[in-house]
Amino acid sequence: MTNCVTMTALDAWLRAFARLVAENEDELTRLDAAIGDADHGANMNRGLTAAAAALDEPAAGGGPRLTKVGMTLISTVGGASGPLFGTFFLRMGTALGDQDAPAVETLATALRAGLAGVVQRGKAEAGDKTMYDALAPAVEAFEAALAAGEPLAGALAAASKAADDGCAATIPLLARKGRASYLGERSVGHQDPGATTVCLFFRAALDTGIDFEPAAGEAG
Ligand code: ADP
Ligand code: MG
């Protein structure tokens, strides 16, 4: 049985992400109020609402859909998170390509490419208290689970768990990048908002509750 990522699944994932961010907008804002300027929830909700609308227009293949999400985030979200999450999705889209149902290994490559884009743009390293601290362990866990023979659903669950752990681990950290770094010691004791959004991205994959195998009649 092929283990692949159908367009339908990817679409549901992205829409579930937009929905979860909308549901958690206040929480993301609260986190950014503590160590930033209280706009992260509004930023991400505005961008992903626009991205979900853009997904209503037809696009060939999963890669182009991700690219559309990335371009929409860059054009509608100011601040640090627009270009960073935008680049993540743009790079993922390019790596995923325009196949209808790329293999899970291609999704792993795409996630890795997205992470590399975030690093290239934001220069964050492990422990800087940024979205990187949830995203990097999630990508690693996803790759490791696939290498261990897990099917896609198991690998996504591993990624989501790693993102959650990475996110919680940002609480005691001193911010070294972005707006929170201006606070110095006062950034300690708060969870990073961008890392929290990364958790919602992986949780959304699980929340879609759909089988990532090709559905009957769908290309695979
Ligand atoms: P802004 O900081 O411009 O107000 P947001 O509040 O929307 O933008 O996003 C803040 C989040 O962006 C932070 O919580 C952090 O995760 C992420 N971030 C900021 N700078 C960087 C960076 N250089 N590299 C990676 N992530 C970063
Ligand atoms: Mg902010």
190 within domain boundaries = yes
181 within domain boundaries = yes
Question: Residue 185's pLDDT band (boundaries 50, 70, 90)?
Answer: very high
In this predicted structure, what is the pLDDT of residue 182? 97
Q: Does residue 40 have its Cβ closer than 6 Å to ligand 1?
A: yes
Domain of residue 204, residue span: 3-211
- Mean pLDDT of the region 136-164: 96
**Whether residue 207 has pLDDT greater than 90:** no
Number of domains in the chain: 1
Q: Which amino acid is at 147?
A: A
**Furthest C-alpha separation in the chain:** 56
Among 84, 129, 190, the mutation site with the greatest number of ligand 1 atoms within 8 A of its Cβ is: 84
**CATH code, domain carrying 39:** 1.25.40.340
pLDDT digits (tens, 9 = 90+) for 30-79: 999 999 999 999 999 999 999 999 999 887 788 999 999 999 999 999 88
Could you identify the atom of ligand 1 that is nearest to the CA of residue 179? Answer: 2
Could you identify the atom of ligand 1 that is nearest to the CA of residue 195? Answer: 16
pTM: 0.95
In this predicted structure, what is the pLDDT of residue 217? 46
Instruction: Decide which of 215 and 171 is more confident.
Output: 171
Could you identify the atom of ligand 1 that is nearest to the CA of residue 35? Answer: 14
Contacts with 19 (C-beta within 8 Å, 6 or more apart), sequence order? 204
217 within domain boundaries = no
The ligand with the least distance to the CA atom of 180 is 1
Q: Does residue 84 have its Cβ closer than 6 Å to ligand 1?
A: yes
CA distances to 42, 63, 135, 169, 170 from 10, in Å: 24, 9, 18, 28, 28
Q: Are 106 and 99 in contact (CB under 8 A)?
A: yes
Residue with the smallest CA separation from ligand 1 atom 4 is: 79
> Which residue bears the tokens 């940002």?
170
Neighbours of 107 (CB within 10 A): 26
**Whether residue 220 has pLDDT greater than 70:** no
pLDDT digits (tens, 9 = 90+) for 90-109: 999 999 998 888 899 999 99
